[in-house]
Amino acid sequence: MKSSLELVIVGSIGIDTIETPREKRIEILGGSVSYACAAASFFVKTGMVGVVGTDFPAEHRALWKRMGIDLSGLQVEEGKTFRWSGVYEENMDNRQTLSTDLNVFETFSPELPEYYRDAPYLFLGNIAPALQLHVLEQVHSPKFVLIDTMDLWINIARAELVEVVGKCDMLTLNESEARLFTGADCLNEAAAALLEMGPRFVLIKKGESGSMLVSRETSFSIPAFKLADFKDPTGAGDTFAGGLMGALAESGLADEEGIRQAMVYGGITASFGVEEFSLERLATLDRTQIDARAEIFRATCSAD
Ligand code: AMP
């Protein structure tokens, strides 16, 4: 009998090559579910759903295990693991994708082990909307479902994306994606249009400017934790969302107050993640450090 899971996350697993103005790193661990599960692991028992090829290094799997992530939903297929490479511009604000090799990701069909299906919290990380729908069809009435997406799916699979978004509690995406998805320039208008698709909440990520949670009645913004320096922003959005879902699952809540508190933890976990490449900083992080930085953050945000 396996121990029950509080959170399940599905997404991509990549071997990334990343170039920043200061450093180039070749073939390092990445992917949306890798960052998100690592972030969530500080809060609750989390199950990963993803695919790797037979070339996937054992050390990466060992790291996830050390972090306490359940890997029963990890598929290994004959062939090469998904590869992605990108280069950051001088200011690190903009990033250009140099190559994307889907490899085993091309034929991926996420299948949830039976005991994953009762997890109360589900995060549909950035993969094709048809696959996100396939995951939703397998779960048994989760308490809270978060969905992430990207410009690619908005452009090539819009109808399926709208359908799956309508079945989730919260949609998260970044500013430019919110504008692309709705055609609205103003973020409040974009959020209103996204809420019309059915989710109760829309969470818009604004990078170094923080994030904004919008419901039909309310709007709430928090700044990002200010770092003196960071090395690699890759996966920051996935780390933010994974930390948020982990903290929400830990609280047992699914309401606006719970999400607001969880946003603080998501932001703080992401602020650690970008201090190093890949999962290198998250691998040495512990909950005490997260809580300490969250305290500093709350104090700087307080108007008292
Ligand atoms: P982010 O910085 O949030 O865009 O996430 C970066 C991660 O997404 C990298 O580690 C990549 O391996 C992964 N990635 C890049 N392109 C895709 C794609 N088309 N589908 C899924 N994951 C991707």
Whether ligand 1 lies within 6 angstroms of the CB of 12 is answered as yes
- The answer to whether the CB of 102 is under 6 A from ligand 1 is no
Mean pLDDT (the chain, rounded)? 96
Establish whether residue 84 lines the binding site of ligand 1, counting it when its CB lies within 6 angstroms of any ligand atom.
Answer: yes
Write out the two tokens for 226.
Answer: 């200010």
Residue 46 in contact with ligand 1 by CB distance below 6 A = no
End-to-end CA distance of the chain: 50
What pLDDT, in 10s, does the model give residues 120-150?
A: 999 999 999 999 999 999 999 999 999 999 9
Distance CA 85, CA 26 (A): 9
Residue 208 has a pLDDT of 84
Per-residue pLDDT, 3 = 62
pLDDT (average), residues 73-80: 98
pLDDT band at 1 (very low <50, low <70, confident <90, very high): very low
pLDDT at 207 over 90: no
Residue nearest to atom 14 of ligand 1 (CA): 31
Q: How far is the CA of 276 from the centre of ligand 1 (A)?
A: 17
- Asked if residue 49 lies in contact with residue 135, where contact means CB atoms within 8 angstroms, the answer is yes
pLDDT at position 2 is 54
Question: Does the pLDDT value for residue 193 go beyond 90?
Answer: yes
Q: What is the pLDDT of residue 93?
A: 79
CB of 271 shorter than 6 A to ligand 1? no
- Is 32 a pocket residue for ligand 1 (Cβ < 6 Å)? yes
pTM of the full structure: 0.96
In order of 187, 210, 222, the CA distances from 179 in angstroms are 7, 17, 20
The closest residue, in CA terms, to atom 5 on ligand 1 is 235
Q: What whole-number percentage of the chain has pLDDT above 70? A: 98
Q: Considering all CA atoms of the chain, what is the largest pairwise distance in Å, rounded to the nearest integer?
A: 58
- Got the DSSP string for 229-275? --S--TTHHHHHHHHHHHHHHHHT--SHHHHHHHHHHHHHHHHHHTT
Q: What is the pLDDT of residues 234-293, one digit of tens each?
A: 999 999 999 999 999 999 999 999 999 999 999 999 999 999 999 999 999 999 999 999
**Which residue pairs, CB below 8 angstroms and at least 24 apart, start in 109-113?**
109/134, 110/10, 110/49, 110/50, 110/51, 110/73, 110/134, 110/135, 111/49, 111/73, 111/75, 111/138, 112/8, 112/49, 112/73, 112/138, 112/139, 113/2, 113/47, 113/72, 113/73
